[in-house]
A and B are shown apart, each in its own frame.
Chain A
Amino acid sequence: MSTVVDEHAEPEVHAPPSPPKPRWRRLLLGPGWIRAVWMTALFWWIGFGIVVGIRALAGWDPVVFWDAIIVVAGLTAAPIGFLAGLGAFDYWLAWAFGQPTKPEDHSGHGARRWTDYFRINTDHKVIGIQYVTTTIFFFLAGGLLAMLVRAELARPEADFVDPQTYNELFSVHASLMIFLFVIPAFAGLANYVLPLMIGAPDMAFPKLNALSYWLLPIAGIMMLTSFFFPGFGAGWTNYAPLSVEQPFGNVFFSMAVQWAGASSIMTALNFLVTIITMRAPGMTFWRMPLLVWANFTTSLLVVIATPFIAGSQFFVMFDKLMHTNFFDMTEGGYPLGYQHIFWFYSHPAVYIMILPGFGIASEVISTMSRKPIFGYRLMALSLVAILILGFSVWAHHMFVAGMATWLRIPMMITTLLIAVPTGIKVFSWLATTWEGRINFSTPMLWGLGFVSQFVIGGLSGIFLGAVPIDIHASDTYFIVAHIHYVLLGGSLFTIFAGIYYWFPKMTGRMYNERLGKFHFWVTFLAFNATFFPMHIIGIQGMPRRVYTYDPQFGDWNLFISISSFVLGVSFLVFVYNMIVSWARGPRAPANPWRGMTLEWQVSSPPPLFNFDEVPQVVGNPYEYGVPGARHAVFNGTREEVRAEEEVRA
C-alpha cells in the first residue's frame, strides 16, 4: 500500500488578501449573493427593455407582450445576470476588457466554511458536493411529484387533480429526474472522484466547472416554476405538434433544457480534456479505473448528442412563439422530424444515464469482492461498443410512430445487439464476485442490487427491442416499468452505491451502516412492489399518461400507489443518515474500503490540491490478491518506478 498523505493545514497556504476595500463596496460590488440579486433584477429589466424597445420601434401591438418578455427577460437575461452577479464570469470579463487579471490566490478554491458551498468555487471537490446535494434536492422534489401522480392513480376515477395539472405533474417529474437528478448526479460524483482517480490536482478548466454547476439550479427552478404558468404538460418527450399546441408555459421546458444541456456539455468537455491531458505519469488508458472509462465514453455521448435536444426544443419554441412551421405537415413541416431529432439525443441520453453507473458498480464490486475486475479490457471495450451502437438505435422509440416500415428492421438489429456488450458487463461483475471475499457493506448492497434490477430492466428491454412485441407494449405501463427498472433500479441504485462508497472520502466521516442497510432493503422491496406489477397491467392493456383508466386495473394500481408511498418515505432514512453522519459521524480513515485506486491513497477529505506529490502510476487499478501489487507509488524516484514497472511486466 502507498503512503497516506497527512491532511494539511489549509488556511496558511493562501496569499494574504489584497488591500481591503470599504466593506459596503465589497458586499455590493464584489461577487456574491447581494450582487447576484441586484444584477438579476438589472438584467431582467434589460431584457424587458430589449423586447419593449424593439416592439415599440417596429410598431408591433401590443408593445408590452408578456410571452416574449418572459422568454427574453425571465428565462434568458435574468439567469445570465444571476451568474454574472455571483461572479461566474469575473475572470473572463476582466481578461476580455483588458484589465489585469488577479493572480490566483486560491481563495475561490476549497471550502473552509459551509457558506463556501454557496458561492462560485473552483475546487472540483466542492463542486462535486454542490452537484450531489443539489441533485438530491431535485430528486426529492421529483419524487414528491411522482407520489402526487400515484395519489391520482390509486383509484380509477379522476378524483385528485385536474387533467392539466396531472399532465404537468408527470412531465415535470420526469424532467427533474432526468435533467436535474440522474445526469448531473453522475456528473457530480465523477466531478469529485475522477480527478482524484487519475492523479490530477483538479479538473482541466476549474472556472468552467464552477459555471456548469451554477447553470443547474437555474434549470431546476425553471422547471418547478412552470407550475405557475400552465403548459408544460406534453410529457418530458414534449412531442410536437402537441407541445406546440400547449399553453404558453411549455417554453419553460424548452428553456430549462437549454440551461441544463449547456451545463452537461460544459462538464463533458471538461471531463474529456481532463482525462486526455491530466492523467498522472504512468496512467495509460489501459490503467484507468473503469469509472474513468465510463465517464470518458459518457462525455463523448454528451458532447455529440446534447445539441440535438437543444435544437428540437428551439424548434418547438419557434413554432410556438414565432409561428414557424417545423412540424406542421400542411405548411411543409414534418411532425416525425421532431421525434427523430429528439430521440437522436434522448436515446444516447439513456446511456448517459447508465454508463457512469456501470463505472461506479465496477469500482464498488471489485473493491468489495477483493478481486480484480474480471475481463478489464473487455469491460472498457464494451463501454466503447455501447457508445458507438448507442447512436444507431434512436428510432426504436418510434416503431409505431409511422416512420418508414423498413427502418424498423435495422433499428431492431442494433437495439438487440446492444444486449451483447451490456450482457458482457453483467457477466463480468458476476465473475468478479465469484470466489471473492464479498463484504456486504451498504455500497456493495446497492451495487449488487443494481446488477439484479438492471438484469430485469435489460430483459424487459429485449421484449421492447423486438418490434412485434413493442407494437403491442409501446406507450403502455410496460414501458413505464421498463424505464423505472433501468433508471431507478439501474441509475439510482448506482448513485446510492457511489454516494455511500465515497461518503467517507467526501465528508471525512463515516455514515451509519445499519441505517444504510435498512435504507437499501426498504427501497429495494418497495421499488419492486411498485414497478413490477406495472409490467402486468401494461401488457394487459393499460396505456401510460392517463389520469383515469379501466376499473379492471384498479386493484393493481392501489397496490402500486401504496408501495410507491413506502418507496418515497424510504428516502427520508437516507437524508437523515446523510445529514446526521456528515455532522456527527465518526471520523473516516483515509481508506475505509482498502481500495487500490488513487482517491483512497490520500486523506479523507483529500488535501486542497489532492496530492502533495504527483503519484507515479505503476500498475493496474484492481490488483486485489496480487502480492505486493501497487497501483501507484508516491515519492518514487525514477529508478524505483522503473523497478516496479519491471515487476509488473
Chain B
Amino acid sequence: MRAGSLIRVLLVALLLAAAATAVAIFIPWLPDNASKEGGRIDFVFWFVTAICIAIFSVVASLSVYSLIKFRAKPDDDSDGPPVHGHTGIEITWTVVPLILVIAMIVVSSVALAQNDRNPSGSMRVEILGQQFAWVVAYPPEGATEDMDGFVCFNRGPGNAIEFARRCKASPNLLLPLDRPARLHLTAREVIHSFWVPEFRQKQDAVPGLDTEITVTPTKIGNFPFICTELCGLGHALMRTRAIVMPESQFEAWRRRGSR
C-alpha cells in the first residue's frame, strides 16, 4: 500500500471512528446505573465498545476505500493482480484480534468475579417467580434454610411450593441503600427471569433450583423489575417495581406489620 492511499484510508478511518463514537455517546444507550455491580458491568460495556469502534473503523474504512477506489470501469475486462496472500498480514490479523479478545476476556472475568461475590454482611432476600407475579420474601435474621436452600419457601403436599409465614413478603423488591443484598431465586412452575435494568443484574429463576445474584443499590429510586424469560400468556405483564430506600426507612418498613 502506498503512502498516499494509507493517509486516505486513515482519514476515512478517523472519520468513521468519530461517527461511531458519536453514536455511542449521543444515543442514550444504557439506562441510569443504580448498583455497584452495574458500575462494573458498565465499565466492561464501554471497554468492549471502545475496542469495537476501533475494529469497526478499520474494517469499514478499508472497505469503503476499496469499494470506491477499485471499482471496475465500464468495459474493463481485465483481472486484478494475482495476489494469493501475504503471510505477514495474515499473521497480523490473526494475532491482533487474539490479543484484543484476551484483553476482553480478562476484563470480563475480573468484573464477573467481583460481581459474583457474596459480600459479608449481605442481606438475604428470597424471590419466587410464578405465573405471573413475583413474590419477594425477607427471612428473619438467623433463620436456617430448609432442604431446598430456602427459608421462606417450603415444599408442601404434592411438592407444591408454600410460603413460610415467618417471613415478610412483598410484591415489590424493596432494598436498603448501599447494603449488599444476596438474592436467592426460584420459580413455581416454569422458568422466569429476574431483571432490573438499572441494576444491570439478571438471573433466571428455575423451578427446583436456588440461583443467586448480588445487588448493592447505590441510588434511591423506583425502577422497573421485569420478567425476561418467556413464561406463558402473561409474560409481558409480569412487571413490578424495585424500590431503593434509605436503610432507616427500610428497617421501619420491615418492622411494620411483620408477621
Contacts and interface: CB of A to CB of B under 8 A. Distances in A.
* Genuine A/B complex: yes
Interface of A: 158, 163-164, 167, 234-235, 239, 241-242, 245, 328-330, 335-336, 369-372, 374-378, 400-402, 405, 408-409, 412-413, 416-417, 419-420, 423-424, 426-428, 430-431, 433-440, 448, 451-452, 455-456, 459, 462-463, 466-469, 471-472, 474-476, 536, 539-541, 543-550, 594, 623-626, 629
Interface stretch (B137-145, B163-171, B194-202, B246-254): B194-202
Contacts of A371: 79-83
B112 A467 contact: yes
B56 A329 contact: no
B63 A245 contact: no
A435 B59 contact: no
Given A435-B80, A438-B66, 15 more contacts: A163-B234, A242-B231, A371-B80, A412-B105, A424-B94, A426-B59, A435-B81, A468-B41, A472-B202, A475-B195, A536-B27, A539-B30, A543-B228, A545-B230, A625-B82
Given A463-B45, A545-B230, A437 B70 contact: yes
Interface stretch (B119-127, B174-182, B204-212): B204-212
Contact of A471 (B77, B97, B201, B229): B201
B81 A472 contact: no
A467 B195 CA distance: 15
B80 A475 contact: no
10 tightest Cβ-Cβ pairs between the two chains A and B: A329-B208, A546-B236, A625-B79, A541-B197, A371-B80, A625-B82, A475-B228, A402-B211, A436-B80, A437-B72
B181 to A, nearest CB: 16
A451 B27 CA distance: 25
A60 B111 CA distance: 58
A623 B170 CA distance: 71
Given A424-B93, A433-B67, A471 B202 contact: yes
B191 A466 contact: no
Given A235-B230, A370-B72, A471-B201, A417 B101 contact: yes
A310 to B, nearest CB: 22
Contacts of A548: 236-237
26 contacts: A164-B233, A329-B206, A335-B208, A371-B80, A371-B83, A375-B85, A375-B86, A416-B101, A419-B97, A427-B93, A431-B83, A435-B83, A436-B80, A437-B72, A437-B80, A439-B72, A448-B63, A471-B41, A471-B202, A472-B41, A472-B202, A474-B202, A474-B228, A540-B30, A543-B195, A623-B82
Contact of A455 (B59, B80, B101, B200): B59
A547 B209 CA distance: 28
B-side binding surface: helix, strand, loop or mixed? Answer: mixed
B115 A400 contact: no
Contacts of B71: 438, 440
B56 A455 contact: yes
Interface in B206-243: 206-209, 211, 224, 226-237, 239
A540 B29 contact: yes
B213 to A, nearest CB: 9
B104 A369 contact: no
A437 B76 contact: yes
Interface residues of B, number: 86
B58 to A, nearest CB: 9
B135 interface: no
B199 to A, nearest CB: 9
Nearest to A237: B230
B62 interface: yes
A262 to B, nearest CB: 27
A472 to B, nearest CB: 4
Interface string B15-30: 0000000000001111
Given A419-B97, A420-B97, A466-B48, A549 B236 contact: yes
Contact of A459 (B52, B185, B227): B52
Contact of B85 (A376, A466, A623, A625): A376
B206 A468 contact: no
A461 B27 CA distance: 20
Contact of A434 (B40, B66, B76): B66
A435 B159 CA distance: 70
A329 B104 contact: no
A623 B82 CA distance: 7
Contacts of A409: 109, 112
Contacts of A467: 108-109, 112
Contacts of A434: 62, 66, 70
B209 to A, nearest CB: 5
Contacts of B44: 466, 468-469
B211 A438 contact: no
B24 to A, nearest CB: 11
Contacts of B185: 402
Given A402-B211, A625-B82, A468 B202 contact: no
B55 interface: yes
A423 B200 CA distance: 29
B203 interface: yes
A467 B37 CA distance: 13
Nearest to B193: A475
A536 B29 contact: yes
Contacts of B94: 378, 420, 424
Contacts of B239: 550
A469 B30 contact: no
Nearest to A626: B82
Contact of B56 (A378, A459, A468, A469): A459
B84 A241 contact: no
Contact of A402 (B55, B82, B204): B204
Contacts of A420: 94, 97-98, 101
B111 A468 contact: yes
B12 interface: no
Contacts of A376: 84-85
Contacts of B233: 163-164, 167
A549 B227 CA distance: 12
B80 A330 contact: no
Given A374-B83, A412-B108, A472-B41, A543 B207 contact: no
A452 B209 contact: no
A400 B213 CA distance: 10
